[in-house]
Amino acid sequence: MKRHVLIFGVVGGLLIAILQYTEYRFVVIEHSVELYSALVAILFATFGIWLGLRITRSRETIRETVVVREVLVPSQASADFVPSSAPFAPNKAQQQTLGITARELEILTLVARGLSNREIATQLFVSENTVKTHCSRAFDKLGAARRTQAVQRGKELGLLP
C-alpha cells in the first residue's frame, strides 16, 4: 500500500513539474478559446463519422434483407383460362349515368392498357394537353385521384374490360 502511495506521489509530482515547465497557465488561460474550439471540432467530427457509418450500415442491411419469392402457378390454371374471343362492350347505362363521353372512355381504355399521355396523344392524333383534359374530366366523373383508381373504378362499373 505504501508503495502505491509513493508511486502516485512521484507521478503526480512529475506531472505538476511538467505542467509548470510547459507554462500551463499560458496554454490554458491564454488559449482557452482555441482549445475549446478544437475540442468542439473533434466532437462534431467524431459524431459525423459515427452517424455516417451508422446510416451506410443500415442501408447495406436493408439491401441484404430483400427476399425474392418465386410463385409457382399450377399448369391446370393455364388450361382453365380461356380468353374471351368476343369483343368487350362497355355498359352504356353506366356511361350515360356518369356522363362519360365516348372520347373520355376511349382515352380511359388506353390508360387501362398502360399507355402514357404522350403515347395516347400520338395514337389519337391530338395534343398531350387534350389527353390530360379528357383524363382529368374522366377521373372527376369516376371519383378517382389517380390513373390506377380510375381504371379500377371503370372495371367495377363495367366500362372497361
Give the pLDDT confidence score for residue 84 in this predicted structure. Answer: 55
Q: Which mean pLDDT values do the consecutive 10-residue runs of the chain (161 residues) have? A: 80 83 69 82 91 74 56 55 60 80 90 90 91 91 89 87 81
Within 10 angstroms of residue 130's Cβ, the number of other Cβ atoms is 16
Residue that has been written with the C-alpha cell 468542439 in this structure: 40
Q: How far is CA 49 from CA 52, 55, 56, 74, in A?
A: 5, 10, 11, 52
Residue that has been written with the C-alpha cell 446510416 in this structure: 55
Give the pLDDT confidence score for residue 134 in this predicted structure. Answer: 92
Write the burial class of residue 67 (CB in 10 Å: 0-12 exposed, 13-18 middle, 19+ buried): exposed
Give the pLDDT confidence score for residue 72 in this predicted structure. Answer: 63
Give the pLDDT confidence score for residue 55 in this predicted structure. Answer: 83
Give the pLDDT confidence score for residue 77 in this predicted structure. Answer: 46
